[in-house]
């Protein structure tokens, strides 16, 4: 059973070794604002939306060649917003990992102080997307740096990512594409959008270019990261009401998939140990 067309992603929850250091990065470089601090967890967002939660785990370490976060992607409302973000990065001399024009979007890549991958991007209008044999055309083409930065407001103070910024998609390392695809397509209900990239697949609901990317670029059979690892705790998928949430719960029960009930939804791990919080409450916060 496919997911409803109007799903959205809520926020991504990360484990970090130094909460103060990470919070400064997410405020000053990424341009988010703290909405709540609850003990050792900080929630940050833009406008009314929480986008990132950080929980401190002193001594948390980076484990290479594991499943887990490849990057999370923040979607800004316009090309001008992307240009404002890029100009601030340039002014601050922030190290970047790369840029890309994906035909459907323009993207900037960087990482936080602990190596968690981040993409900030803007979408082209759906009316401009191209299709081949019924599939959305995507690529990794050169980024129009001059064109994007020219959209920015020269000389204006930057006030962070604007309201309307959302968690546009997640991209995960998995240990096995077949089992991960079976989980996300057959059980959860995402549609397969693109399987043309070696070792990767892209999935979505409602015809979006992707809400989720999965890859085996950390190695086929890459094991889950341990509980003391820097990185992903879970990300949230917001369903439009109790009915689709109950239907997904029933499918998981029928398949014998274990999950943990939480207020407003439930938490489940994919076959590679990546956590997903399914909920119908956008403002749900839980550690």
**CB-based contact 285:13 (threshold 8 Å):** no
| pLDDT of amino acid 153 | 83
For residue range 181-197, what is the model confidence (pLDDT) as tens digits? 999 999 999 999 999 99
| pLDDT of amino acid 286 | 57
Q: Where are the alpha helices (DSSP H) in the chain?
A: 19-28, 79-92, 145-149, 177-181, 242-255
With the C-alpha atoms ordered 244, 250, 254, 260, is the resulting torsion angle positive or negative?
positive
**CB-based contact 7:239 (threshold 8 Å):** yes
| pLDDT of amino acid 1 | 80
**CA 226 vs CA 16, 64, 175, 219: distances in Å:** 13, 11, 14, 17
Question: Which positions of the chain have pLDDT values less than 70?
Answer: 282-287
With the C-alpha atoms ordered 271, 274, 280, 284, is the resulting torsion angle positive or negative?
positive
In order, the DSSP letters of 119-176 are: EEEEEPPGGG--EETTEE----BPP-HHHHHTTS-TTPPP--SPTT-EEEEEEEE-S-
Q: How far apart are CA 249 and CA 238, in angstroms?
A: 14
**CB-based contact 241:230 (threshold 8 Å):** no
Phi, psi (degrees; rounded to nearest 5) at 202? -125, 135
| pLDDT of amino acid 283 | 60
Q: Using CA atoms in the order 81, 87, 89, 90, what is the torsion angle rounded to 10 degrees?
A: 160
For residue range 43-95, what is the model confidence (pLDDT) as tens digits? 999 998 899 999 999 999 999 999 999 999 999 999 999 999 999 999 999 99
């Amino acid at each position: 059973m496919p997911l409803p067309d109007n799903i959205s992603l809520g926020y991504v929850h990360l484990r970090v070794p130094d909460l103060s250091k990470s919070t400064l990065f997410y405020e000053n470089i990424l341009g988010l604002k703290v909405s709540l601090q609850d003990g050792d967890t900080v929630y940050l967002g833009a406008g009314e939306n929480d986008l990132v939660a950080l929980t401190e785990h002193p001594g948390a370490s980076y484990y290479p060649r594991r499943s887990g976060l490849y990057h999370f992607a923040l979607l800004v409302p316009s090309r001008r917003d992307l240009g404002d973000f890029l100009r601030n990065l340039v002014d601050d001399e922030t190290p970047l990992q790369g840029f890309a024009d994906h035909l459907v979007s323009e993207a900037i890549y960087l990482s936080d102080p602990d190596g968690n991958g981040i993409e900030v991007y803007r979408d082209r209008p759906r009316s401009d997307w191209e299709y081949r044999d019924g599939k959305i055309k995507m690529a990794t083409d050169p980024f129009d740096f001059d064109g994007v930065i020219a959209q920015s407001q020269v000389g204006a103070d930057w006030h962070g990512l604007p309201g309307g910024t959302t968690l546009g998609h997640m991209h995960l390392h998995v240990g096995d594409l077949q089992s991960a695809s079976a989980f996300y397509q057959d059980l959860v209900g995402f549609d397969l959008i693109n399987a043309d990239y070696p070792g990767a697949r892209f999935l979505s609901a409602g015809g979006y270019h992707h809400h989720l990317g999965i890859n085996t670029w950390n190695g086929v059979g890459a094991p889950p990261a341990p509980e003391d690892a820097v990185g992903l705790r879970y990300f949230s998928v917001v369903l439009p009401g109790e009915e689709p949430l109950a239907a997904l719960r029933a499918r998981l029960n029928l398949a014998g998939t274990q999950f943990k009930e939480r207020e407003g939804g439930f938490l489940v791990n994919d076959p590679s140990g990546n956590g997903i919080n399914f909920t119908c409450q956008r403002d749900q916060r839980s550690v």
